[in-house]
Amino acid sequence: TVKQDLAGVNLLISAGPTVEEIDPVRYLTNHSSGKMGYALAQKAADRGANVTLVSGPTQLSKPSGVAVIDIISAKELQQKVKEKFEQNDVVIMAAAVSDFHVKQIAKQKIKKNGQSMHLDLVANPDILADLGHIKTHQKLVGFAAETQNLIENGNKKLVKKNLDMLVLNDVSRKDIGFNAADNEVRLLRPKKEPKLIAKTSKDKIADEILDELTSL
């Protein structure tokens, strides 16, 4: 049996990619599989937390004992997360949010004409940074995918988004991260040394992240 150390904790997790429509047949997205966020949701529920998972489109089966809210775009993700923010104690943003959306979604399929074309892209809101600036009692956890100067870039995000913890992924490595079953991460926390969680399954990483959260 699993220890129920998160009993009574309300935990909101976002996971997976967001998808931004271009026209009725095309879209912009990214390589997020949702595996890390889903593993966190399942482990947290197993440990007794009341888990709400706000998920972009993934190939994964729904975690059991978790309330799942499906979203497509970053804007929908923002709406759902904001709506649920106040009633949660811990918010983990594991979703890979599109940085941009298309300014005007075309109502009809865009036709090719042998020429180059360009898309007008507008920046999406930084949902996590917005939460960081309105949080009251909540513990806020972000993820960051970096390819260089990991710790330095991660620490900047920790401060800028006013987080209690940042889970840092090295996406320059092919054996971990996006779509892989395994991961290796560093946990950054304000005024503490980075903590390495050496390469292991995303399930084990999820438990270690939750362990660290209970100590916050």
- Indicate the residue among 51 and 93 with the shorter CB distance to ligand C5P: 93
- Strands of 139-146's sheet, edge to edge? 67-70, 50-55, 10-15, 90-93, 139-146, 165-170, 182-188, 195-201
Residues 189, 199: Cα–Cα separation, whole Å:
20
| Least Å from the CB of residue 95 to ligand C5P | 5
Compute the least distance from the CB of residue 120 to ligand C5P, in Å. Answer: 18
- 143: annotated binding-site residue? yes
* Number of Cβ within a 10 Å radius of residue 32: 24
Q: Is 202 annotated as a binding residue?
A: no
89 marked as part of a ligand binding site: no
| Of 137, 40, 133, residue with least CA distance to 86 | 137
Cα–Cα distance for residue pair 64/2, rounded to 1 Å? 15
Instruction: Find the shortest distance in angstroms from Cβ 132 to ligand C5P.
Output: 9
**Catalytic site includes residue 113:** no
In three-state secondary structure terms, 16 is coil
Task: Tell whether residue 125 is among the known ligand binding residues.
Answer: yes
Helix (H) or strand (E) holding 12: strand 10-15
The active-site residue out of 10, 30, 153, 162 is 30
| Alpha-carbon gap, residue 82 to 131, rounded angstroms | 8
> Shortest gap between Cβ of 200 and ligand C5P (angstroms)?
21
Q: Which residues bind ligand C5P (CB under 6 A)?
A: 74, 93, 95, 97, 124, 126-128, 142-144, 157
User: CB atoms < 10 A from the CB of 196, how many?
Assistant: 11
* Residues labelled as active-site residues: 30
List binding-site positions for CTP: 99, 109, 125-128, 143, 157, 161
